Chain A
Amino acid sequence: MRRRVWILVLAAPVIAAAVLLGSDSRGLAASARQAQASSVEVKIDNFSFGPATLTVAAGTTVTWTNRDDIPHTVVSDDKVFKSKVLDTDEKFSYTFTKPGTYGYFCSIHPKMTGKVVVQ
């Protein structure tokens, strides 16, 4: 008898969680979207963007931080966004609202390229 009660007690929170996660409850899904839409970082170091390809949800703000000891820029291939020159520790942010693939490069060192895929 006790064991059964014990199992039920343990199972209850698990079942409750499963119900909540599985549901289309607006509240939970919305907060999950909100958590994803917070800033995502791209680190610039050693003449490269890391990660080189970044996949984010629409509405996400991407922040590039220059950790290299030489200045770099972040310039979209299609003129969608363009940072000023970023010296060491300077940042540039852009919020991607429309889905698509956004190629970019450093206009000072054009061999440095990266991509943001917005879903």
Chain B
Amino acid sequence: MTKNVKDEILHDHNHDGIDRRGFLKCMAWAGTGALCVMQGGVLKSYSLSRLSDLGGGAAAGGELSFVQISDSHMGFNKPANPDVAGTLKAAVDKINGLSAAPEFMLHTGDISHLSKPEEFDTVDQILKGAKPKDVFYVPGEHDVLNDDGKQFLERYGKGSKGGGWYSFDKKGTHFIGLVNVMNLKAGGLGTLGHEQLEWIEDDVKHLKSSTPIVVFAHIPLWSVYPEWGWGTEDSAQALAYLKKFGSVTVLNGHIHQIMQKVEGNVTFHTAASTAFPQPQPGKADSPGPMKVPAEQLRSILGITDVNYVRGQHALAVVDSSLA
């Protein structure tokens, strides 16, 4: 699909360069490997194959390129997908086929389905086949069953603080991995907790406001659908600490579908699962695994390719399905 469309901004309520019509148009393309980028207040879209049209391409000039995968649920074997290892391998193939090789990967949680050691082992094994060798993880609620996350921390929590949060820098972009799946209260949503919030405030205190920020956590940090627990109780406090930054990208998983929202300088994005899809908010009785015809499954699972091109206001986020 090659589209080069110039959209006139009609009603820019948030003063962020995207109006509702442009945003919805962008959302419709998201699942087919299209890229929406703001350039000088104008929304432009490009197909995945024309990524190089973006001011010289992401790989050129030492720009940043990474991939987000999520919700591999290794160990799940019900009708919605009896072969989650196969679809995770397909995701790795997709990653290895990207024109601009990503430097590293983020896994936004639910790596395993039942927190079993062999499930984590299988994912580690499959991801070894991906070109990007560095993988940064945050846990999903399925990764911290039975042991309050002890096993997860042992495997993936080196250098992390408290319940497993941490930050790192890549080519001038500051990455913050957060944990919002521990100590969940009855009737509640995801939660960051006081200790982690204090750490966030401290972690970004001395950063220049021009530093691009990428936050990644399992449960969405915006209120997607509270009735199904799709939100984080105290994320507003975390976002308040990031208010000074000109570019904040929040990458989440958990809901097994692609969703995007822009609020001021913050772009929220949720990834598809590599295991099974879930229904859209309110479109089913519950947020359980959604069965689709077998031939359609891989077109609803996917990976997210993220590129930062210096000089652009926002990170370019491109979703690709496995089919």
Asked whether A41 is an interface residue with its Cβ less than 8 Å from the other chain, the reply is no
**Interface contact A110-B80, CB-CB below 8 Å:** no
Residue of A nearest to B191 (CB): A110
- Interface residues as binary, A82-104 with B (CB distance below 8 Å gives 1, 0 otherwise): 00110110000000000000011
- Interface residues as binary, A19-45 with B (CB distance below 8 Å gives 1, 0 otherwise): 000000000000000000000000000
Question: A82 to chain B: closest CB distance in Å?
Answer: 10
- Interface residues as binary, B139-153 with A (CB distance below 8 Å gives 1, 0 otherwise): 001100110000000
Asked whether B162 is an interface residue with its Cβ less than 8 Å from the other chain, the reply is no
**Interface contact B229-A111, CB-CB below 8 Å:** yes
What residues of chain A have their CB less than 8 Å away from a CB belonging to chain B? 46-48, 68-71, 73, 77, 84-85, 87-88, 103-105, 107-111, 113
- Among B78, B79, B188, B286, which residue has its beta carbon within 8 angstroms of that of A110? B188
- Among A46, A103, A107, which residue has its beta carbon within 8 angstroms of that of B286? A46
**Interface contact A110-B289, CB-CB below 8 Å:** no
What are 18 A-B contacts with C-beta separation under 8 Å?
Answer: A47-B287, A48-B286, A69-B79, A69-B80, A69-B289, A70-B288, A70-B289, A71-B142, A71-B145, A84-B146, A88-B78, A103-B186, A108-B142, A110-B184, A110-B185, A110-B187, A111-B189, A113-B186
What residues of chain B have their CB less than 8 Å away from a CB belonging to chain A? 78-80, 113-115, 141-142, 145-146, 184-189, 227-229, 285-289
With A46-B286, A47-B287 as known contacts, state yes or no: A111 contacts B113, CB within 8 Å: no
Closest 10 CB pairs of A and B: A105-B186, A47-B286, A111-B229, A110-B184, A46-B286, A69-B78, A85-B145, A110-B188, A108-B141, A46-B285
**Interface contact A47-B187, CB-CB below 8 Å:** no
Question: B144 to chain A: closest CB distance in Å?
Answer: 9
Residue of B nearest to A85 (CB): B145
